[in-house]
Structure 1
Amino acid sequence: MFSAENIANLNELELDLYKYVIENMNKVMYMRIRELAQETHVSTTTILRFCRNMGCEGFSDFKVKLKMHAKENNSKILDNSINAIEEFMERSLNGDLDESILKAAQLIADYNNVIFIGIGNSGFIAGYGARYMSSLGKFAMHIDDPYFPLIGEMVSNSVTIALSVSGETDSSLRLVNLLKSKGSKIISITNRKSSTLSKLSDINISYYISTENFLDNALEYRDVTSQVPTVYIIEALAREVNRLLL
């Protein structure tokens, strides 16, 4: 709908109108043409000319296509997750992760305590990881509070498993730096090996899938990148640790 060619043909007034529409898409879908004209300080004639430049017959046609555009974009973003997971599973079946997982599992087996950390969606997975690891006989806990008090033997004789899709979350980096300074070994599970968290870690396991953002009703982007690869890696780690400790 909003092709580069169409946008290139807009004059200055129409370009300002385009920016308003993009930033207020859910609102514009239900506005009358006069309401939009008043809101954007342009004439109804300018709006109609803008609609025609976008390939629409009029304002009503434009609103219909705008709704379809928003729905289509959101569906594409969510549908892409299936492809991303399939690609990850294919790589895992080829053994691409095996070496990193074996190395990390050996490190975990050598220490008494395991601390999972994560913020936001990664925090929920950290809780699952700690429970799963503990169920297989290795003591583990999780932290999703960046200001959690870190004291004593629990930290100094520990391995931290830090979960972060981007590897750039400030709260996670703060926790990792603090844990590292207190003697904890760091294993990170991230989407990219080039992230700051990866570079701070003793061992990094990267899964490389496409990041996904969802446009919500307030037209704010939410990170909905699949956590399936992280769960797979955590379970593989826990099972290998269990095998080493038998």
Structure 2
Amino acid sequence: MAFFGFKDIDKLSEVDMAIYRYIVDHDEQVPLMRVRDMAKGAHVSNSSVMRFIHKIGYNSFPEFKVSFKNENQDLMRSQQNILNIFTRDAFPHDIEKTIKLVAHLMLDADNIVFFGMGGSGAIAEYGARQAASLGFNSFAVKDPFYPLIAQLQNTSNNVIITLSVSGKTSEIVETLNNFVNSPDTILISVTGNIESPVARIGRYALTYNVPETRIHKYYDLTSQVPCVYIVDGLLMELHNQDIERQK
């Protein structure tokens, strides 16, 4: 039996759901309650509470309270560090200054390209869409074999922002090498590895430091939250500088 893991929610009546929601909203007080306390709080009868307790698999109210208390304590212990993904220490001390410099380059760019693969590609799409919403010519590239060289061939004043957790993906590095000596393209990176080729290849590297997590050797589960945090910071600063310029 498990209150929080109860699977037949769809079989509960409206009265049952009122009791269920009341218990969830008052989880710390439940172990100290009597049947009539719960009934009063949920605005139902005592008998409705007992029918609910039996329906979810408990023989008595005391049995439910003991089980609920243990289950809730286990759940709280498992949740303590869920949102503690990173702190300010995960970023270089001068990250804000670098964001301002990169945003200034984006402000003057004719084309802003967000480039990434896999999960980084999804963030690239997000960044490009948001930049476009701000009125800038921006698009995302998720395919390292996309003819980006041809697309930017007759353009100038381009900024390519590459997103890569490891900064070592060979396909990404090969693509960027085509723009290293281009006077018309500025390379920026957002990466979790300051020593990586992607970080070294561009003018500015916006870096962060979080533990790398992989499963089954090939699947990267390293948190992308710091990357999104930096991208959002870039977009916010870009918007602010755009407003200042228009004054």
Please tell me the TM-score bracket, short chain as reference.
0.5 to 0.7
The answer for unaligned runs of 5 or more in structure 1 is 1-75
Map residues 160-171 of structure 1 onto 2, 5 A cutoff.
Answer: 160-171=160-171
**Residue equivalent to 1:115:** 113
TM-score (norm 2): 0.59
8 Å CA contact 1:119–1:171 kept in 2: the answer is no
8 Å CA contact 1:138–1:242 kept in 2: the answer is no
**Which residue identity is paired with 2:124?**
A
Specify the structure having the higher radius of gyration (Cα). Answer: 2
**Residue equivalent to 1:237:** 234
Distance 1:155 1:142, change over 3 A: farther
**Aligned equivalents of 1:80, 1:214: Cα separation in 2:** 20
**Which residue identity is paired with 1:161?**
I
**Residue equivalent to 2:202:** 201
Deviations 1:149-181 (A, max 9, x none): 123467532100000001000111112112334
Shift of 1:146: 1.3
**Which residue identity is paired with 1:145?**
D
Query: Using CA pairs below 8 Å that are at least 6 residues apart, which structure has the higher relative contact order?
Result: 1
**Residue equivalent to 2:192:** 191
Distance 1:200 1:165, change over 3 A: same
**Residue equivalent to 2:61:** none
Tell me, yes or no, if structure 1 residue 224 matches structure 2 residue 221.
yes
Shift of 1:81: 7.2
**Residue equivalent to 1:55:** none
**Which residue identity is paired with 2:174?**
R
8 Å CA contact 2:86–2:210 kept in 1: the answer is no
Query: Secondary structure, in 3 states, of the residue corresponding to 1:205?
Result: strand
**Aligned equivalents of 1:174, 1:119: Cα separation in 2:** 13
Distance 1:148 1:124, change over 3 A: same
Distance 1:211 1:80, change over 3 A: farther
Higher share in helix: 1
Query: Secondary structure, in 3 states, of the residue corresponding to 2:198?
Result: helix
Query: Secondary structure, in 3 states, of the residue corresponding to 2:190?
Result: strand
**Residue equivalent to 1:125:** 123
**Aligned equivalents of 1:193, 1:126: Cα separation in 2:** 19
Q: Identity of aligned pairs, percent?
A: 33
**Which residue identity is paired with 2:236?**
R
**Residue equivalent to 1:68:** none
Across the aligned residues of Structure 1 and Structure 2, the Cα RMSD in angstroms comes to 2.5
**Which residue identity is paired with 1:222?**
Y
Shift of 1:147: 1.6
**Residue equivalent to 2:40:** none
**Aligned equivalents of 1:229, 1:120: Cα separation in 2:** 16
**Which residue identity is paired with 2:200?**
K
**Residue equivalent to 1:177:** 177
**Aligned equivalents of 1:134, 1:211: Cα separation in 2:** 31
